[in-house]
A = this chain, B = another copy of it.
Amino acid sequence: MNSAAIQEQSATLATNAAKLAEEVEKLAQDASQLIDVQTAAATMDFLSLFTIFVLACFVGFYVVWSVTPALHSPLMAVTNAISSVIIVGGLLAAGPADMDFSKVMGFCAVTLASVNIFGGFIVTQRMLGMFKKKK
């Protein structure tokens, strides 16, 4: 390998390296832009959840006021049952493979919430089954 060839080669290498560095910079930029976008998406996410919450409050207001007073007891029982959707939290705690304290807690939560879910829906059904029209 003569010195000229080597020099040439090293020059090419240097240019390539420079190009690579440029590319790296560009990619880094892109990546940081993406992070920006992602952060924006994340804030939008809280915003969506909040919007959902606000609308759900309106729905709750209207749907509960539309319940006939005669069925306020079943209403209490059924809200009791559906508020046990918190069982979702218990399932996630009881789900992992390793047995630990948290899994035991999850089991307890699932058990208690199940009492409520079954009990709440069944007692509601029992109450509602008694409401009959004049024959």
Which stretch, A19-27, A67-75, A89-97, A103-111, touches the partner chain B? A19-27
Q: How far is the CB of A24 from chain B (nearest CB, A)?
A: 5
**A115 at interface, CB cutoff 8 A:** no
**A131 at interface, CB cutoff 8 A:** no
A16 to B14: give the CA distance in the assembly, Å. Answer: 10
Which stretch, A56-64, A79-87, A121-129, touches the partner chain B? A56-64
Given contacts A34-B38, A55-B56, 17 further A-B contacts (CB under 8 A): A3-B3, A9-B10, A13-B13, A13-B14, A13-B17, A20-B20, A20-B21, A20-B24, A24-B27, A27-B27, A27-B31, A38-B41, A51-B52, A55-B58, A55-B59, A58-B63, A62-B66
Nearest B residue to A51, CB-CB? B52
Q: Which of B7, B31, B45, B49 contacts A34 (CB 8 A)?
A: B31
Nearest B residue to A37, CB-CB? B38
- Chain B residues with CB below 8 A from A3, complex form: 1, 3, 6
Q: Given A21-B20, A66-B62, A48–B38 Cβ distance below 8 Å?
A: no
A80 to B20: give the CA distance in the assembly, Å. Answer: 59
**A28 at interface, CB cutoff 8 A:** yes
**A88 at interface, CB cutoff 8 A:** no
